[in-house]
């Protein structure tokens, strides 16, 4: 008899999981399979790809009206693909692609009203193609804030994506649609990308694993320049899912920029030099509950024999505003490109106020101003690279507070107010995008009201494997899979 996903939960996870409870990423709590386990069930014939895809679609239809994670569905295409899922390592596993990236035949909206009516994408982007080549089956495009600018997923074009842990709270951004879907049990993992924290913020807010790889690690097209800040990845429930996907889509051979990591399958064995901090680069201290979780994680490592010491960011006082100025250059390009594409004037009927103000700020920068910003950011890269030599890893908050109320960081908040809130909230993640270093968010704590709190670990550029080994260690010491969103 072929087992369905539902019956698997009543049989495999009730009886067979005890035998593999010690393996990384496997929980004895009866939770649904992660992507690795689901792929194994499909390969063994205990679940068909069509059953896995149908279950994901059914769950998506059930929760979409509540959490609003989806911009466009590809259910018909997914069911057709599930009929012949192939033999990739993740063959038949349902997935989502973030709506900042092109998939052939599907419209890319980029979280903005100005893209309404544009034709479907003609081609699939290289990194998306590399992910799908592993056998993953996309069931749709996940929500993003406008052009991915903000650390919350509340685009005026589509309305807010709601956090499955608390529907009045933000999922984070910009990969908030993907994170909400994974937290709500729609798919076991989903595509995400990160230009300033956009993998790590949603992972922290939604109780997930979120690895921001080193710049140039992933097979995402052209060789990146020294200030290419965006990288590709995923959000997942388990370390092994993130580790396996990275191993499959990292650059290899002559294309490799960093030595390939391969599949990391267990915790770090050597003793580490661990730095810890709770104050952001703008000088703001983290929320007390957030700081307590970070310090508790550091204490776990100390109790395991690792050398732990306090530290502080090596960034300059102007770093936050310099990053925002550099970010505004991208906003100006996006607004100008969309205006040319549509022939419409750039105003608040098509763009959010934050996007327009960012573009306006960029227009005021002279060439000398821009060059000075870039040189200061490169100086911060040099400072980070020197600072991190003193540690193997550094622990910090991901974001200063637990998931914020919806509306707090939305794109129509007055710009000066929003700027202050951003500098206070995101004082832990931007430096890694500037210098190209890896960082990971791990769901190591919860607030008194059971909201997730993520802890960030960062390392030197290229040390992605070490962060995954550390993540496995934490997954063993502070297991999180038994804690699920109320909507899951």
> Would you please indicate which residues are annotated as catalytic (active-site) residues?
98, 174, 198
Which residue has tokens 């040099």? 382
Tokens of 466: 């070490």
Reading the block at residue 453, the tokens are 């709190």
**Cα–Cα distance for residue pair 78/456, rounded to 1 Å:** 34
Nearest Cα neighbor of 399 from 229, 197, 207, 214 is 197
Cα three-residue angle 474-67-166, rounded to 5 degrees: 55
DSSP 428-463: TTHHHHHHT--EEEEEEEE-TT--EEEEEEE-STT-
- CA dist., res. 82 & res. 39, Å (int): 12
* 441 closest CA partner among 200, 86, 130, 192: 200
CA dihedral sign, ordered 292, 294, 296, 299: negative
Helix (H) or strand (E) holding 18: none
Residues near 169 by beta carbon (within 8 Å), at least 6 away in sequence? 162, 163, 205, 402, 403, 404, 405, 406, 451
Q: Which helix (H) or strand (E) holds 274?
A: strand 273-276
Cβ atoms of 455 and 441 within 8 Å: the answer is: yes
Q: Is 309 helix (H, G, I), strand (E, B) or coil?
A: strand
> If you search the block for the tokens 């390939």, which residue do you land on?
260
For 61, phi and psi rounded to 5 degrees? -65, -35
* Ramachandran angles phi, psi of 339, nearest 5°: -65, -40
Do residues 164 and 487 touch, judged by C-beta distance below 8 A? yes
Residues 6+ positions from 62 with CB-CB distance below 8 Å: none
Distance, in Å, from the CA atom of 22 to the CA atom of 24, rounded to the nearest integer, reads: 7
CB 232 within 8 A of CB 193: yes
Longest dimension (CA), the chain: 71
DSSP three-state, residue 258: coil
Tokens of 271: 């003793």
């Amino acid at each position: 008899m072929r087992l369905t996903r539902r019956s698997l939960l009543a049989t495999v996870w009730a009886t067979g999981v005890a035998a593999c409870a010690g393996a990384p990423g496997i929980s004895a709590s009866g939770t649904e399979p992660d992507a690795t386990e689901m792929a194994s069930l499909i390969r063994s014939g205990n679940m068909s790809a069509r059953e896995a895809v149908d279950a994901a679609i059914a769950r998506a239809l059930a929760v979409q009206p509540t959490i609003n994670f989806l911009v466009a569905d590809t259910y018909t295409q997914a069911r057709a693909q599930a009929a012949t899922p192939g033999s990739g390592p993740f063959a038949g596993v349902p997935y989502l692609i973030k709506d900042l990236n092109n998939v052939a035949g599907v419209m890319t909206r980029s979280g903005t009203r100005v893209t309404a009516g544009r034709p479907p994408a003609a081609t699939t982007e290289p990194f998306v193609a590399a992910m799908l080549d592993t056998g993953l089956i996309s069931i749709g495009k996940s929500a993003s804030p406008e052009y991915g600018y903000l650390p919350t997923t509340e685009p005026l074009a589509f309305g807010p994506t709601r956090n499955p842990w608390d529907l009045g709270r933000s999922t984070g951004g910009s990969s908030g649609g993907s994170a909400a879907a994974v937290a709500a049990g729609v798919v076991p993992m989903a595509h995400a990308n990160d230009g300033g924290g956009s993998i790590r913020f949603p992972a922290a807010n939604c109780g997930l694993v979120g690895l921001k790889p080193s710049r140039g690690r992933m097979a995402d097209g052209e060789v990146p320049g020294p200030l290419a800040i965006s990288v590709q990845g995923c959000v997942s429930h388990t370390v092994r899912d993130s580790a396996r996907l990275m191993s499959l889509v990292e650059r290899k051979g002559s294309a490799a920029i960093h030595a390939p990591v391969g599949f990391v399958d267990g915790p770090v064995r050597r003793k580490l030099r661990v730095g810890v901090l709770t104050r952001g680069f703008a000088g703001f201290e983290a929320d007390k509950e957030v700081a307590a979780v970070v310090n508790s994680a550091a204490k776990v490592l100390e109790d395991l024999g690792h050398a732990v010491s306090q530290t502080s960011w090596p960034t300059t006082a102007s770093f936050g505003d310099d990053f925002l100025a550099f970010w505004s250059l991208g906003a100006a390009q996006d607004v100008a490109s969309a205006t040319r594409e549509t022939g419409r004037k750039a105003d608040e009927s098509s763009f959010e106020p934050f996007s327009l103000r960012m573009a306006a700020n960029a227009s005021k920068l002279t060439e000398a101003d821009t060059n000075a910003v870039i040189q200061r950011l490169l100086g911060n890269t040099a400072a980070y690279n020197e600072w991190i030599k003193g540690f193997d890893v550094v622990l910090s908050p991901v974001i200063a507070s637990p998931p914020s109320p919806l509306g707090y960081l939305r794109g129509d908040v007055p710009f000066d107010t929003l700027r202050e809130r951003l500098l206070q909230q995101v004082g832990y993640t931007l430096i890694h995008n500037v210098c190209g270093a890896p960082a990971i968010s791990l769901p190591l704590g919860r607030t008194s009201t059971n909201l997730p709190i993520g802890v960030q670990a960062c390392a030197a550029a290229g040390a992605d494997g070490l962060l995954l080994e550390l993540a496995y260690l934490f997954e063993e010491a502070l297991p999180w899979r038994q804690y699920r969103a109320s909507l899951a």
